[in-house]
Structure 1
Amino acid sequence: MNQKVDSELLLRLKEGDINAYDAIFLKYFKLLCLNAYFFLKDEQEAKDLVQVFFMEIWEKKLYMKLEGEIRGYLYRSVQNRCLNKLRQLESVQQKSELYTVFNAGESVEEPLPETIFQSLDEALGQLPAQRREAIQIVYLHNKKYQEAADVMGISINSVKTHLKIGLKNLREYINKNKNRLT
């Protein structure tokens, strides 16, 4: 019976019945929030993620591609969004940890001396243009590797190589000039 109700709601939604959308939202919102909470462990994040998902279903007319049973699609979509969110948070954490490498072991909460920023700017200036650009796009502008590759017109592997060598060069520069920085 439940599948029949979902397929009827979906058919009505495709015909432009906004009440069918509301019915689907009311039927699945709390369940999907619970599903998202299982992954995110944050009630508000879970609700926000599910709400954005439902907005995209409506705005992008994703419902037009669906047939019959929609429960599986809704659960899998929310699960995938949660996993993507967790990967994004992990990436931010890794970038934060890299930042501490430049902080030479000092606590991040303490204000950084202006010389650190000048030194980092000077070190970045010593890098070849593509390495500097890759570091700025990924670490200073918080972009993904694919976005950096698109902006730079190179492959993702080239971006990764520029980042790896560039960070190594920055560490060497900072270690070599430690005495001058403090």
Structure 2
Amino acid sequence: MKINDSKILEKLKKGDSKAFKELFDLYYLPLSTYSLKYCDSFSLAEDIVQDLFIKIWNDRLYMKFDKNIGSYLFKAVKNNTLQQIKKKYNFVGIEDYVNNLMVEEAVDNEYLEEKRNRLHMQIEALPKKSKEVFKAIVLDNLKYKEAALEFGITVNTVKTHYTRALKQLRNAVEIIIIFFFI
């Protein structure tokens, strides 16, 4: 278990809502992205992750995490996503559905290049500050605090710009996901 995770969990068990927000901020996007490996809807993926976080908040006093919270979250998201797919397809052919999703991820280079160009165009079309913040966080892998220092703005302003960029790029999320998993 990461030291940061264990501190967050200790605070969470005491009912600290800031710790919950920290956990949410740390894992929300990676979990949503992971869920998309198994389902074909970003909206469904978000719902699954949000439901998991609601369950964690509601059960925080009774939950015991002896292992890595990250592993638990990713396994729960995978299981919950597959359950939703089973419900959607009435338990018929779920293995075929999941296998088809995996096969569909195998795309040719020309298709990837086209999607990469489209993604870059959409990133470049973002407002200047949102684009800078997005690139710093996603491409340069900076933390919010580091980006705030680099641009001379507050952490909340960084989060605002990053959120705006993600909202505008949400239409291109399938493109982003392709590049995360290739």
Shorter-chain TM band: 0.3 to 0.5
Q: TM-score, normalised by structure 1?
A: 0.47
Q: TM-score, normalised by structure 2?
A: 0.47
Larger radius of gyration: 1
